[in-house]
Amino acid sequence: MDETKNIKTKVILYILLFIVAVVILFPFVWIFLTSLKTAGDITCYPPKFIFDASWDNYKSLFKTSQTGAAASTLNFSRYYINSLIIAGFGTLLSLIIGFGAGYTLTRAKFKKESTRENVAFTLISFWFGPELAIILPLYIFFNKLNLLDNHLALILAYQLIGIPFTIWLSRSFFSDVPASVEESSRIDGYTALQTFWKITFPMVKSGLAATAILTFIFEWNNFLFALVIGGRNTMPVTTGALGFISYEAALWGQMAAAIILSSIPQLIIAMFAQKNMARGLTFGAVKG
């Protein structure tokens, strides 16, 4: 648009952009600084911007024998591994099933055409309904089956987040590939599988990668499922981070360090899905 030509408007726009960026980044910068402070420096007022930085908070997160009132129950490296296991295998399962089902919903023939949308909408309603409507009864089932605080049970429950999302988003990308392109490749003698790998897949590759990344982020970030049906052995970073402030102790520095470490994986991989972000976060409703 033409308003960017003028120097004065340019300066104003840059100032506004800068303000937005500062507001967004400030909490991260501050929490990072907090994570480098000693307990005394954290609580002092006015807040210190210059202090003796140390990595002690990070080190203490990974010490096996911790001291202090609450420390004995906190085991951050365990939370981290749990998050990796649950979100990692959860994403893998979501992708295998979701991409297959997404492709099926795009291309397969159904006896009743309405089946396609009915299945898709039923699945997506898991995202929009309040989670507790499902997790409370699920809590009883898992309790009866002795599956509370079990990695596999959590991975299965996380599919309620993963499968609808991967189906919807991959379907949006698959339907970008014209059916006629696939048909003509079949006429050329490719099998269905060859058509998929040689024709369709290269066209949707970056879209599927974005889907995979966002699925992992959503599953890593999940809180309520883990809170209800997880437990001491399966606690991921999202519920684990809460434990640093409790009745017994307020380990602000360690909590800050845990927040920083728990946010890094998402931020790094999100950089690879930037292009498809608007589309991804709206399940394909917005093509941008």
Window 178-237: residues binding other proteins (CB under 8 A): 192, 217, 220-224, 227-228, 237
| Under rule CB under 8 A, residue 37 binds other proteins | no
Three-class secondary structure of residue 1 per DSSP: coil
Q: Which of these ranges, 67-75, 171-179, 201-209, 275-283, lies near other proteins under the rule CB under 8 A?
A: 275-283
* Closest approach of other proteins to the CB of residue 65, in Å: 26
236: preceding bond cis by omega (within 30 degrees): no
Report how far Cα 66 is from the mean position of its chain's Cα atoms.
Answer: 30
Q: How far is the CB of 269 from other proteins (least distance, A)?
A: 9
Smallest distance from other proteins to CB 103, Å:
7
- The candidate with the shortest Cα–Cα distance to 276, out of 267, 265, 287, is 287
Among 72-80, 171-179, 197-205, 266-274, the segment contacting other proteins (CB under 8 A): 266-274
Among the candidate windows 53-61, 63-71, 199-207, 239-247, which touches other proteins by CB under 8 A?
Answer: 239-247
Sites for other proteins among residues 78-107 (CB under 8 A): 97-101, 103-105, 107
Q: Number of residues interacting with other proteins: please give it, by CB under 8 A.
A: 93
| Rounded-to-integer distance, Cα 30 and Cα 280, Å | 29
Query: x/- string (CB under 8 A) for other proteins, residues 43-82?
Result: x-xxx-----------------------------------
Q: Is 270 in the site for other proteins (CB under 8 A)?
A: yes
Q: What is the DSSP string of 41-101?
A: HHH-SSPPSS-----HHHHHHT-SS--STTGGG--HHHHHHHHHHHHHHHHHHHHHHHHHH
Any idea of the CA torsion for 76, 82, 87, 88, to the nearest 10 degrees?
110
Q: Which of 156, 203, 209, 249 binds other proteins (CB under 8 A)?
A: 156
Contacts within 8 Å (CB) and 24+ apart, 115-119: none
Contact between 287 and other proteins by CB under 8 A: the answer reads yes
